[in-house]
Chains A and B, each alone.
Chain A
Amino acid sequence: MLGQNEEGIKKRMEGRVLKNKIMAGLFFLATSVGLIFLVLLFYRVLTQGIGYLNWNYLTSGPAPYPEEAGIWVGMIGSIMLMAIVAIFSVIIGVASAIYLEEYASQNKFTEFIRVNISNLAGVPSIVFGLLGLTFFVYIFNFGYTLIAGGLTMALLILPVIVVASQEALRSVPIDLHQASLGMGATKWQTIARVILPAALPGILTGTIIALSRAIGETAPLIIVGAATAIYTLPDSLLAKYTAMPIQIYNWTARPQEEWQFVAGAGIIILLAVLLLMNSIAVLIRNKFQQRL
């Protein structure tokens, strides 16, 4: 059949192949737009900040002069903040996911909750800031403290962790549930011994990605009162604190040009931390895939 009009087919083939090439080019172009801006961003941040990035910068706190200022207090503040966020959001998030996926009966109500948790993940972070201000700062009367900031951020990423954990739990083959329950194990034994270990890499990956979102967040922290200039590390959960993005934001707002470079150096550190966290997430995922 094809043989009868081989000429026509050949001619059209050229057209088709050409079209394919054009499309490939267009898609490459689209990708390039993103890449170019990313490269520009890195270039700008690096050229501006690298000059100020030295040991002294890493180990000192804010100072009245750009040459003396450093990221230390902000960095440790961010780490402490993340520790609080991780503890609360992982415990509550994974427990909620286990309830929703494994225990809750499948009805309209639980379906409604599921959908809304996913929706919460899309709520602007500033709204969570206001929530934290009302509850933790005022009602719980924590004031502008580390714990208030940590809990606010924990709420912010809680939906992300619930959704990621639900997906991880759901991806554990039903076969494994059946095998365990079929031997007389209780639901909890099945979850603790089979389901959670199998879902753990997925949960960890989701958690790290959620944390790396939290570590760059500025708006909610401003609302719940992270300090902009603080010279000592927080010594308790009820101490004042600052965080890297707050520190950077504060420096960029200053008029003298040198402060832009100080901020640039801070952004480099922040990006480095983000890249590190994302690489860990990728590593965990790859290791897990190899094992299966």
Chain B
Amino acid sequence: MTKISEETQETRTGGLTSKPVVDRKDKQQKRESKNVMQVEDLNLWYGSNQALYEINMDVPEKRVTAIIGPSGCGKSTFIKTLNRMVEMVPIVKTSGSIKYRDQDIFNGNFKQEYLRTKVGMVFQSPNPFPKSVYDNVAYGPRVHGIKKKEVLDEIVEKSLKDAAIWDELKDRLDANAYGLSGGQQQRVCIARALAVEPDVILMDEPTSSLDPISTSKVEELVQELKKKYSIIIVTHNMQQAARISDKTAFFLNGELVEFAETDDLFQNPQDKRTEDYITGRFG
């Protein structure tokens, strides 16, 4: 079940001044938790179409945050804003602020490249490069200037192990990643994201194109990964959100309707709209 693992509070490096998550349960239990990202009054427009309205959200460190909501409510837009990927669409305008470990990511001096090194992303459909498994996973480290074969070998092995696919692929590192199954490709993409050693991992419906077995592998993996990483995962599947996340955010029409501990949100929703959605009384 979902509960905060005790070690998350101990393994944290001190010195960062983040305020505790302000939500009901945390207040009730007076539990302290650090935030890795803080979103304040975020608005986003595609041209003249507003897609996000006044979003405020604190993303807790080393936990899994699920984002649910009906199609078109702005889930992808929101998480792509967190690594500024959304700006690949030229007409996008934003207002408000997003902080990554107390640094404003929209600040001109804050490099996008740095942000994306720290805030990695796994996409909806597997998107390996048309290169070997090894070159896929080594891509990030190479981009960041690591050239030594031994170092790269080590990173590749570690990342593939962390992505729970080393045993399947250790003899096929030279094979083209396009020749793998969809589930394998997605885990290679996760390994590729891990190789950069990010702090936060954004996942946009990472299992939506996978079969049930691959899906449960990725879900198990997410549970493993949260020991080291803060994870934000978009999902269409409420059971999945309930299974794997610690906190859940419910989006509707570009608004963040409710954000709470996953158990609370599903068992005791505060907002009528959340209740309608999770009980299926919703379009």
Contact = CB atoms under 8 A, between A and B. Distances in A.
Decide whether A and B are members of one complex.
yes
Interface string B46-81: 000000000000000000000000000000000000
A136 B115 CA distance: 49
Determine which residue in A173, A185, A189, A292 has the highest number of CB atoms from chain B within 10 A of its CB, and name it: A185
A175 B85 CA distance: 12
27 contacts: A105-B90, A106-B90, A175-B123, A175-B127, A176-B127, A178-B88, A179-B123, A180-B129, A180-B139, A181-B116, A182-B85, A182-B120, A182-B193, A183-B116, A183-B140, A183-B143, A183-B193, A183-B196, A184-B114, A184-B115, A184-B117, A184-B140, A184-B143, A184-B196, A185-B139, A193-B139, A194-B129
B247 interface: no
Contacts of B144: 184
A198 interface: yes
Interface in A166-204: 173-186, 189, 193-194, 198
B264 to A, nearest CB: 32
Nearest to B90: A106
B83 interface: yes
Interface of A: 105-106, 173-186, 189, 193-194, 198, 291-292
Nearest to A175: B127
Contacts of B120: 182-183
B121 A182 contact: yes
B196 to A, nearest CB: 5
A-B pairs, 10 with minimum CB distance: A184-B117, A175-B127, A183-B140, A184-B116, A182-B121, A185-B143, A184-B113, A179-B127, A183-B196, A106-B90
Determine which residue in B127, B189, B193 has the highest number of CB atoms from chain A within 10 A of its CB, and name it: B127
A178 B113 contact: no
Contacts of A198: 130
Interface residues of B, number: 27
B125 interface: yes
Nearest to B130: A198
B178 interface: yes
B187 interface: no
By secondary structure, the A interface counts as: helix
A189 B143 contact: yes
Interface of B: 83, 85, 88, 90, 113-117, 120-121, 123, 125, 127-130, 139-140, 142-144, 178, 189, 192-193, 196
Contacts of B143: 180, 183-185, 189, 193
A194 B139 CA distance: 10
A292 B140 contact: no
Contacts of A180: 129, 139, 143
A177 B121 CA distance: 13
Contacts of A189: 143
A181 B88 contact: yes
B130 A182 contact: no
A175 B130 CA distance: 12
A241 B223 CA distance: 72
B88 A183 contact: no
A177 B116 contact: no
Nearest to B139: A183
Contacts of B83: 182
Nearest to A183: B140
A186 B88 contact: no
A153 B140 CA distance: 42
A106 B89 CA distance: 10
Determine which residue in B117, B139, B189, B196 has the highest number of CB atoms from chain A within 10 A of its CB, and name it: B139
Contact of B130 (A181, A186, A292): A292
A174 B125 CA distance: 12
Contacts of A174: 88
Contacts of A105: 90
Nearest to A105: B90
A27 to B, nearest CB: 38
Contact of B85 (A178, A194, A292): A178
A151 B85 CA distance: 42
Determine which residue in A179, A193, A198 has the highest number of CB atoms from chain B within 10 A of its CB, and name it: A179
A178 B127 contact: yes
A36 B265 CA distance: 76
